[in-house]
Amino acid sequence: MPNEKLTGTTEQKREILDRLTRYRAEPRRTLRLAEKYPHLRFITMDEVVADLFGADAEVFTAGLELARNRFAGLGQPELLPMERVFMAVESDNGGHGGFHDRLLPERAPDDTQAPGYRYVQAAAVISLYGDRTGMASPAPGMAGVDLLHAYVHDCLALPDVPVLPSRGW
């Protein structure tokens, strides 16, 4: 990931990198989405983007180009791969998704599976804007703007964040 720096001895750095590679190899399993959110159905962002059309596709495409240029200008040449962004698109409980969706009605203080950017996994869990029952469509362009907002937010890598040796994986 951009700006990710490993700390420790050469041997520790090699071990950390190997563990991160294994950890990130299967983000669906790593994030335990089905276990944590059994009432939601997730698909990857690349699948969502492939189905965008009209104003949603236009605003997302234009905004993504601007974001890529802006991030590159700030020293972050890569964005989070879209296949590592998991989006809640349907719910057994209905509801309305989007950037501020909590996904869970209540969250314990120690909940480590909260939506948003998951740094160690280099993945994100977000919610598609709109009615999750599929009964109502948002205004043209709103889903694209909200998707862009959530994605760009979760692509922001903090500069010089060290990844320390840990036994917690």
71 Cβ partners below 8 Å, 6+ apart? Answer: 77, 79, 155, 156
pLDDT digits (tens, 9 = 90+) for 126-166: 888 888 777 778 888 898 999 999 898 888 764 444 445 54
pLDDT digits (tens, 9 = 90+) for 5-37: 778 889 988 888 888 887 777 877 777 888 888
Smallest CA-to-CA distance from 31 within 16, 49, 47, 44 is with 44
Length of the chain: 169
Q: Specify the pLDDT at position 137.
A: 80
Predicted model pTM: 0.71
Quote the crossing angle between the two packed helices 142-155 and 54-73, to the nearest 10°.
20
Percent with pLDDT over 70 in the chain? 77
